[in-house]
């Protein structure tokens, strides 16, 4: 892939990830959880604010799981992928910007806007992923998918770094205090997201789809048919189950690392620094995995990433110091974007291009189911063994099962199956 005019749709597509990743870093991972407890819900006790934040996060995840397959079906209708990306982006942008206006103590409104923002971010990503086969030649799927994730890490990381500087040193930016800096950060996310959605709307061509205006009844029928068609693609189905297992392990490790950081006495600023480290390491690493996938195939790259994550589990099992926590952030940054990018590219190879929307709806649904089994597994093993370290080690089970299933995925056969179903 070069920067020629012929590749403009791929770059425009990838720049959307640059834009919307600011919501994932600044809002979801960075500021909203802390600001909610300390500013908007400061009058609630800690357990109540934790309950409400957890409840809304769970509700958002449930809604995305239910909606993702339907969004995928709609994305396959003629000209709908870009419209869905634009519609969900507008929802997320308005909700993010709206957080700037929420006054102290108005925690129900803050939660409502946050819920809308998460739905806009996640819903848009279903249609965004489905655009990948249309903006990348078949031989470039790994590289273009990795370009999106790498620009997402860089774009989200750059704005987040600026936002962190604003919060730590508000006077430098003419702001009264950190609270005002956080509110301005939410508005900046909205503007950033809007600006970098424009190239996709201008230069990405929606690659057709099927015409029609299905009723709700026929839509559910189509959804059942999609599941049947997935079973007719054994390699895609097998990969999807493997993907669910190892992404569950990946998400569990990320949450575990944060818990460990808190347990060894790191404060919130240390955790923000670790998140920044992961973002900026993830930018070149995702590009490297894209090159690896293009040269040797996506499957070997996924093998490497899973192996690294298994080593991370062993490392975290014995981790003691803050220095190890930062090192862990670097290692996770090296593989996190790569495994996401190559997984998306491999799945795109295993499903018919003309029906990418419906299948990526299922793909995103499985991704949102991630971190369901892992935390339960860790908790049960820790309780039975009376050792939190053995609980952490149990995450290896997810990776081992994923490896067993992934070893049975024949990519060449899967591509033939997808071509036959098209």
Per-residue pLDDT of the chain (422 residues; tens, 9 = 90+): 544 446 899 999 999 999 999 999 999 888 898 888 889 988 888 778 878 887 888 788 889 888 998 898 888 876 789 999 999 999 999 999 999 999 999 999 999 999 999 999 999 999 999 999 999 998 999 999 999 999 999 999 999 999 999 999 999 999 999 999 999 999 999 999 999 999 999 999 886 555 554 544 456 677 778 888 888 899 999 999 999 999 988 887 776 665 556 555 666 667 778 878 888 999 999 999 999 999 999 999 999 999 999 998 888 777 777 778 788 889 999 999 999 999 999 999 999 988 888 899 989 888 877 766 776 777 778 778 777 677 778 889 999 999 999 999 999 999 999 998 86
Phi, psi for 106 (deg, rounded to 5): -90, 60
Q: How many CA atoms lie within 13 A of 372 on its CB side?
A: 12
Query: Residue 101 in 3-state DSSP?
Result: helix
Domains of the chain (ranges, CATH numbers): 7-207+216-421 (1.20.1250.20)
Specify the pTM. Answer: 0.86
Query: Residue 210 in 3-state DSSP?
Result: strand
421's tokens: 């179903």
250's tokens: 């990946």
Instruction: Give rounded-to-5 percent helix, strand, coil for the chain.
Output: 85, 0, 15
Cα gap 122→105, rounded to integer Å: 27
Cβ-based neighbours of 81, under 8 Å, separated by 6 or more: 75, 127, 130, 131, 134, 206, 207, 209, 357
Q: Which residues of 68-96 are buried (b: 16+ CB within 10 A; e: fewer)?
A: bbbbbbbbbbeebbbebbeebbebbbebb
Cα gap 242→409, rounded to integer Å: 9
Cα gap 77→211, rounded to integer Å: 5
* Chain-centre distance for alpha carbon 146: 13
- DSSP state letter for 353: G
């Amino acid at each position: 892939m070069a920067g020629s005019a012929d590749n403009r749709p791929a770059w425009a597509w990838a720049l959307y990830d640059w834009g919307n990743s600011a919501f994932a870093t600044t809002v979801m991972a960075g500021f909203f959880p802390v600001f909610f407890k300390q500013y908007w819900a400061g009058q609630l006790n800690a357990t109540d604010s934790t309950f409400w934040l957890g409840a809304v996060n769970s509700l958002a995840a449930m809604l995305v799981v239910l909606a993702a397959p339907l969004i995928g079906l709609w994305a396959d209708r003629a000209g709908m992928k870009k419209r869905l990306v634009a519609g969900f982006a507008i929802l997320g942008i308005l909700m993010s910007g709206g957080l700037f206006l929420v006054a102290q103590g108005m925690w129900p409104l803050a939660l409502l806007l946050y819920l809308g923002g998460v739905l806009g971010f996640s819903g848009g990503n279903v249609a965004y992923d489905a655009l990948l086969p249309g903006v990348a030649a078949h031989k470039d799927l790994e590289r273009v998918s990795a370009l999106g994730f790498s620009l997402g890490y860089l774009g989200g990381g750059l704005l987040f770094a600026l936002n962190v500087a604003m919060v730590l040193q508000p006077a430098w930016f003419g702001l009264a205090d950190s609270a005002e800096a956080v509110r301005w950060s939410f508005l900046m996310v909205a503007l950033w997201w809007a600006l970098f959605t424009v190239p996709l709307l201008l230069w990405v061509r929606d690659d057709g789809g099927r015409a029609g205006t299905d009723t709700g009844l026929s839509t559910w029928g189509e959804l059942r048919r999609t599941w049947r068609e997935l079973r007719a693609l054994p390699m895609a189905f097998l990969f999807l189950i493997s993907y669910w297992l190892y992404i569950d392990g990946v998400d569990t490790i990320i949450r575990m690392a944060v818990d460990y950081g808190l347990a060894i006495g790191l404060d919130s600023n240390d955790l923000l620094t670790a998140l920044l480290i992961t973002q900026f390491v993830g930018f070149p690493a995702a590009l490297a995995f894209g090159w690896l996938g293009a040269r040797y195939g996506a499957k070997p790259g996924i093998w490497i990433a899973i192996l690294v994550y298994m080593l991370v589990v062993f490392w975290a099992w014995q981790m003691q110091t803050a220095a190890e926590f930062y090192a862990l952030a670097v290692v996770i940054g090296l593989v996190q974007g790569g495994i996401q990018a190559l997984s998306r590219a491999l799945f795109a190879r295993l499903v018919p291009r003309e029906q990418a929307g419906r299948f990526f709806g299922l793909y995103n649904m499985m991704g949102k189911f991630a971190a369901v089994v892992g935390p339960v597994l860790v908790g049960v093993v820790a309780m039975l063994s009376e050792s939190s370290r053995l609980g952490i080690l149990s995450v290896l089970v997810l990776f081992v099962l994923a490896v067993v299933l992934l070893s049975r995925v024949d990519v060449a056969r899967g591509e033939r199956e997808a071509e036959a179903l098209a």
